[in-house]
Structure 1
Amino acid sequence: VYTFATFYSDSAYLLAAHASEIWIDPMGGAAFTGPGGSRLYYKDFLDRFKVTAHVYRVGTFKSAVEPYLRSDQSPEAKQALLAVYQPIWANWQANVKKARPKADLASYIADPAAAVTAANGDLVKLATDRKIIDKVGDRTAFGKRVAALAGADEDEGPGAFKHTSLGDWVAANPAKTGGDEVGVITIAGTIVDGEAGPGTAGGDRIEKLLHEGLQRDNLKALVVRVDSPGGSAFASEQIRRAIEVYRGRKIPVVISMGNVAASGGYWVATAGDTIFAEPSTITGSIGIFAVLPSFERALADYGVKADGVATTDLSGQPDVFGGFNSTVDTFIQGTIEHDYRRFLGLVGKARGMTPAQVDQIAQGRVWDGGTARQIKLVDRFGSIDDAIAEAAKRAKLKDDGYSVRYLQTEPDAFEQFVSGMFGPTEDSQQAHGLVAQLAWQQQAALGQVIGDLNVLGGTQGVQAWCLECSGALPPRTSARAELGWLAQMLSLKGT
């Protein structure tokens, strides 16, 4: 295996570390940051514009709502995140060290400023001197190296080598079909209500796909691939119930966790017979919250007040213009606490624990996959292939006697047309060099700001959501709508 890149970050280098030769462009480099970073806290901002954030939650560690209540991160949130990040980072370093024992990573990670200064700012020299990289050369030089092994492609120009494209390989090695099937359904992105398509997991859409899978007489087992920080509690329960139907028909269900399976993502996972994860999977965050804004203080500054009549204490509540009364606060908080108890009950039943035992490891706290396994939130480590093999075993299918059926929505012609016109290309997604990586991170941070504000202004219903997980962002309506909402808030003070 030979690999070439302009810039190696944490995840890219973890993959490249297993190659026989690692090449880098003369204008490239490598920098390893480890998990972590900062997020924005909006309490002072909201106070300045006199927006009241009404927060309802259960869980000491449910820090998804902290940005609306505090100006900094709570000690509990820091404790929880450090407990997640530290073992993940240690696991990354151990895996890289095992793959590249001669690479001097420890001192570079311990003091990157000193390492860069010693190399006079030359990240390529730094990487090669420390045996992080094997060879330096541009893409053409790398191609010639591969061509010496695999043969040159004379028709494609300098540096081209004989190869088989992914499309051709797939065409020549079609997936097995027919016979007994193991169904695989993917729940990726934020879990939302309705028919939301790829990028989010719409409750109605996922439920429909699961029901359609049941119509297949030869579907003997189900694997649920979860890569989600959660979202709508209603949609999470909708999906969980649809999965439970499989178990009711004695069809084995195996959960395969990806990068993150937290809050609503873990809610869904409680429907499985067994749960696979990776040591770096972020999971848990068993907690519930809701956030609603009101603008009575801001309106009062301009002489605008709300008034009217009510037949009950809940008439016209929650009143975003006149403020919330104590009855609606009690009403909403009560439903949040009820849903939390239900969450505890689902986890307890699935994991063989009492609600009290679950509560000790819940409270909205996130865990790394290794710790999650120790506290019985996860059964085994393994990939999605391992999960598929386990599902087939539970269904008593022979190793070569079944095929894999992916339960998914095929995009219609219009969606494919739009994706082709406006979807990101491979080249447009590449960030070459350290500065480009930093610029990309800034864009991602702006997206987080918009997402955070959308929680306050656009999210509906009770949420089982881990906002801390992998930079997960809230469900969005449209960029124009979100920016418009922000502009309206800023205009309250003429800013």
Structure 2
Amino acid sequence: MASSRQPNILVRLWLGFWRGLTAFRMAVFNILFLLVLALVLGMVFRGGDQLIIEDDTTLVLSPRGMIVEEYRGTPLERMINEALGQEVPETRLRDLLAGLEQAADDDRITQVLINTDELWGVGTGVMQDLDQAFADFRETGKSVIAYGGFMGQGQYFLASQADEIWLDHEGMVMFEGFGRYRNYYREGLDRIGVEVNLFKTGDYKSAMEPWERSDMSEPDREASEYFLGGLWQDYLDAVAMNRGVPVDVLVDIAGDYSRYLERADGNPARMALDNGLVDRLVSRPELRAEMAQRGAPDDNGDFRRVGFRQFVSGDMPVRRPGTGQVGVIVAEGMIVEGDQPAGTIGSESTSRLIRQAARDDSIEAVVLRVNSGGGSAFASEIIRRELVALRDAGKPVVVSMGNVAASGGYWIAMGANEVWAYPTTITGSIGVVGFLPTFEETLSRIGIHTDGVGTTPLAGALRPDRAMSDEVRQLLDTMINASYREFLGLVAEHREMDVGEVHEVAQGRVWTGTQAMERGLVDHLGNLSDAIASAARIAGLGEDYRVTYVEPELKPWQAFFAGMGARALVAAGFEPGNGLLDALPIETRDGLMRDLRLLTEATRRNGRPGAVAHCLCDSPM
């Protein structure tokens, strides 16, 4: 007689779970198959959407957020952030330049409208690229109109490129000047018992000052006033030339804004109009009607237009009909060790791009576009050596400095044949710091103490819960000074200067591009196009060359599944939570996050001390 006994409860639960898991897995794969099938069928029967541009079309330049060299994060991260509504507003400089270049040659584009309403600011360096691009465009005889509501000095600089500036009736133009303000943590750290162990070279090396002081040091104040004054004068000169307004008038308005506002009965828009800062006050309906009259109306009673993001196809267009190529590698953000996404310079990821350019036989010269205040000295040296290897392999290397190329950003530039900077680039800051805070007093206040034994004086000496010994302090001080001497030696070798000469302009001091040129720290002043042309000349490409950006990209199948993942998160109702830092003022929050990231890099994330070459001197907007 067969047994009728059933499996025990645990076995039945396991079998039920396994059958359910199998059914779920099959359902997921079926859904994925249907989505892929729908995508393929859509591509077969529908084809790609084609952008149709009619005659008398207006090209609308409406940059969002910050103007950057490259988007931050991986393509996957950007897709997910966009799907979640957490996208960081960014506009690539190369897309703006390409839009103007293509519009100049396109007879269907008859005018350009600059809309500044979504722009956060313009770095002092890229202003020169924009200045040149608009100058080239205006040579076609096509008109440029700028429109916006509130215009700070960054937005106003972009607007000053136009033939006419139209301001909203309720708008405002305001110059604040350039400033450099930071949070200082010394008093707060004392209250919680944190011991600051800081090692630095040079009186002007102030990157880690916030952790050891409660105010700005006099050397830092002196250096900051000097380079900020140079940047401010360059800004005033450029705007005055673009607008035909005397520099003295701009200085007077910025220095006594309230008096000018009182003269206009407290109306900022009228004040801007009365003093020649803008040409007309118009509402949005008036703007649309006027642009339609100057260009052409569309089918909806608006004006015929195309956004520059839709208009620009691919990256920078082919500049000349030749086959030789100049490869452009973007190095933007803090310099750290390892593999990093775009927007951060990684010793491995950036080096990989340099090797990629070395292997590509069609690339005959390389321009490294640096926009960085620095970071890890170790990572900077790895990248510099890769550039030297590329140069020794026969491919010329030219560094083009962006808004900022200081400290570690200047360090990696020493691997190039030539160094180009804007007049307003923030550079220099040749110096090194080391930082290792300890928390023994903080822990003792809550009754936690550290004790033990070791076989050598260095055993456990770098623990953050132990006070730093004099021997370790001497060791770290020796290391930081050695890194500084290495930095000085590299600059002396590549700039053909004596070490003593370099030391005179080093010590962590920051300079503008013009000031650096006067001191022999850069070779030429010019924009990215100038650096590219110089690289082509050194490589013997003549006038026949193309420009290509060397960068990793997602393969089509990766992009497809990345988009599916983003949509799945949205469908699941995922929303990032608000943290404690969100309650802080944005300037305080951003500054704190930047300082904490630099602190993390200084300790190499594992308590190991690292030499940091960073200036903490972002470009003012």
User: 1:493 corresponds to which residue?
Assistant: none
- Find out whether 1:230 has 2:374 as its counterpart: yes
Q: Which has the larger radius of gyration?
A: 2
**Residue in 2 aligned with 1:426?**
none
> Hey, what does 2:589 align to over in structure 1?
446
Quick one: structure 1 residues 164 and 323, their matched pair in 2 at CA, closer, same or farther if it must change by over 3 Å? Answer: closer
C-alpha offsets along residues 175-233 of structure 1, whole Å, 9 cap, x if unaligned? Answer: 36882111110100111111110111111001111111111112211111001001111
CA distance in 2 between partners of 1:64 and 1:416 (Å): 40
TM-score (structure 2 length as normaliser)? 0.69
1:467 equivalent in alignment to 2:616: yes
Structure 2: how far apart are the matches of 1:248 and 1:268? 16
Stretch moving more, 132-141 or 358-367: 132-141
Match of 1:81 in 2: 224
TM-aligned CA distance change 1:198 to 1:121, over 3 Å: farther
Residue in 1 that maps onto 2:168: 25
Q: How far does the alpha carbon of each residue in 1:34-72 deviate from its partner, in whole angstroms, 9 at most, with x for none?
A: 110421111111001101111111111011111111111
The structure-2 alpha-carbon separation of the partners of 1:249 and 1:294, relative to structure 1 and needing over 3 Å to count, comes to: same
- After superposition, the C-alpha distances for 1:444-490 in whole angstroms (9 at most, x for unaligned) are 33211232244445642221111133379xxxxxxxxxxxxxxxxxx
**Are 2:183 and 2:588, in contact at CA under 8 Å, matched by a contact in 1?**
no
The one-letter code sitting in structure 2 at the alignment partner of 1:291 is F
Letter in 2 for 1:46: L
Give the conservation status (yes or no) of the 8 Å contact 1:293–1:457.
no
Q: Counterpart in 1 of 2:152?
A: 9
C-alpha separation in 1, matches of 2:232 and 2:308: 34
Which secondary structure does the structure 2 equivalent of 1:64 belong to? coil
- Ranges in structure 1 where 5+ consecutive residues have no aligned partner: 423-438, 473-495
CA contact (8 A) 2:316 2:547 kept: no
Change in CA separation of 1:294 and 1:405 when aligned onto 2, cut-off 3 Å: same
**One-letter amino acid matched to 2:614:** W
For 1:238, give the aligned amino acid. Answer: I
Q: 1:391 to 1:415 in 2, by over 3 A?
A: farther
Q: Find 1:326's aligned residue among 459, 465, 470.
A: 470
Report the Cα distance in structure 2 between the residues aligned to 1:216 and 1:129, rounded to whole angstroms.
57
161 and 442 in structure 1: CA distance in 2 versus 1, 3 angstrom threshold: farther
Instruction: Letter of the 2:537 partner, please give it.
Output: K
Cα distance in 2 for residues equivalent to 1:260 and 1:470: 6
Q: 1:152 aligns with which of 297, 305, 312?
A: 297
Q: 2:452 aligns with which of 285, 301, 308?
A: 308
Once residues 213 and 414 of structure 2 are traced to their aligned partners in structure 1, the CA distance between those partners, rounded to angstroms, is 32
The answer to whether the 8 Å contact 1:14/1:96 transfers is yes
Distance 2:313 2:539 in 1: 28
**Distance in 2 between the 1:380 and 1:447 partners?**
33
3-state SS of paired residue (2:548): strand
Number of aligned residues: 454
Q: Distance in 2 between matches of 1:38 and 1:5?
A: 28
The 1:336–1:458 alpha-carbon spacing in structure 2 relative to 1, beyond 3 Å, is: closer
The residue number in structure 1 matching 2:531 is 387
Aligned mate of 1:405, from 532, 548, 553:
548
Q: Which amino acid aligns with 1:110?
A: G
Match of 1:492 in 2: none
Whether the 8 Å CA contact 2:335–2:374 is kept in 1: the answer is yes
Q: Secondary structure at the match of 1:53?
A: coil
SS at match of 1:7: strand
- 2:344 is aligned to 200
C-alpha spacing 1:326/1:136, structure 2 compared with 1 (3 Å): same
Q: How far apart are the structure 1 equivalents of 2:377 and 2:383?
A: 10
Which of 60, 65, 87 is equivalent to 2:203?
Answer: 60
Uncovered stretches (5+) of structure 2, i.e. residues with no partner: 1-143, 570-581, 605-609
Q: After TM superposition, which residue ranges in structure 1, 4 or more long, deviate above 3 angstroms?
A: 162-166, 171-178, 414-422, 439-442, 453-459
Letter matched to residue 468 of structure 1: C
DSSP 3-state at the match of 2:313: helix
User: Aligned partner of 2:240: which letter?
Assistant: K
Residues 265 and 214 of structure 1: CA distance in aligned 2, closer, same or farther (over 3 Å)? same
CA distance in 2, matches of 1:164, 1:42: 45
Residue 208 of structure 2 aligns to a residue whose secondary structure is helix
Matched AA of 2:420? F
Measured in 2, the distance between the counterparts of 1:48 and 1:40 equals: 16
Deviations 1:245-291 (A, max 9, x none): 12111211111011000000000111111111111100000011121
Over the matched positions of the two proteins, sequence identity in percent amounts to: 36
Partner secondary structure for residue 214 of structure 2 = coil
The CA deviation string for residues 397-430 of structure 1, in whole angstroms up to 9 with x for no partner, is 121x2211211121452666778999xxxxxxxx
Counterpart of 1:246 (choices 352, 367, 390) is 390
Question: 1:274-285 residue pairs with structure 2 within 5 A?
Answer: 274-285=418-429
Across the aligned residues of Structure 1 and Structure 2, the Cα RMSD in angstroms comes to 2.5
Distance 1:328 1:173 in 2: 52
**Cα distance 1:308–1:95, how it changes in 2: closer, same or farther (>3 A)?**
same
**Paired residues of 2:145 and 2:165 also in contact (CA < 8 A):** yes
Supply the distance in 1 between the matched residues of 2:212 and 2:310 (Cα, whole angstroms): 51
**Deviation for aligned residue 1:73:** 0.5
Cross-structure match for 1:107: 252
